[in-house]
Amino acid sequence: MDKINKYAELFVKLEFIKTDIAIFQNEIKSCQIQESSGRVEIDFMLKTNTGNCHELVLQTLNLEKGSILKIPKELIKTPKENLWIALVLVMKNMNCSLYLIPTTVFLHPKKYAFLAKTSSQQTYWEINVFLETIPELSQFSLANVIEEL
């Protein structure tokens, strides 16, 4: 795992320590989720005080290297209510940003922030982080979605 992804992993843990939600890394046994996400490995599991469990797939985007994140559909085969993308945006000399994006946004994409794409080699989910997509993306900041968990 490269340095930026390791940093993003620690950042996500610290952000959830600030909330009242338990976060477990690679501890699938800690939550009983009925259906499989189809992902090879879930990065984090969340368990709220009310007993709701959620799976998180960690994705890091270094904005100095690009603004498009492509997630192969083999990693997230079927979007579902309790499966989220924990997107950490990283940029030199700036604070990281964490967004919790429900995978269900790919079922009915709006505008051009969240798309389902197919190329000659693969099919993938795409998240575009451009100036025009920031309003759509900002609705998924941790502060804005914490009550939905």
Q: How far is the CA of 64 from the CAs of 11, 51, 91, 109, 128, in angstroms? A: 18, 39, 6, 26, 14
The CATH number of the domain where 127 resides is what? 3.40.1350.10
Domain that holds residue 15: 3-148
User: pLDDT (tens digit, 9 = 90+) per residue, 35-74?
Assistant: 444 444 689 999 988 888 999 999 999 999 999 999 988 8
Task: For residue 79, count other CB atoms closer than 10 A to its CB.
Answer: 20
User: What is the edge-to-edge ordering of all strands in the sheet holding 22-25?
Assistant: 22-25, 44-47, 53-62, 83-90, 97-102
Please give the Cα distance from 105 to 100 (Å, whole number): 11
> How far, rounded to the nearest angstrom, does the alpha carbon of residue 116 sit from its chain's CA centroid?
15
pLDDT at residue 120 in the model? 78
Please give the Cα distance from 26 to 36 (Å, whole number): 15
* Per-residue H/E/C for 36-60: CCCCCCCCEEEECCCCCEEEEEEEE
User: pLDDT (tens digit, 9 = 90+) per residue, 83-108?
Assistant: 999 999 998 888 999 999 999 998 88
* Number of domains, the chain: 1
pTM of the model: 0.85
pLDDT at residue 26 in the model? 66
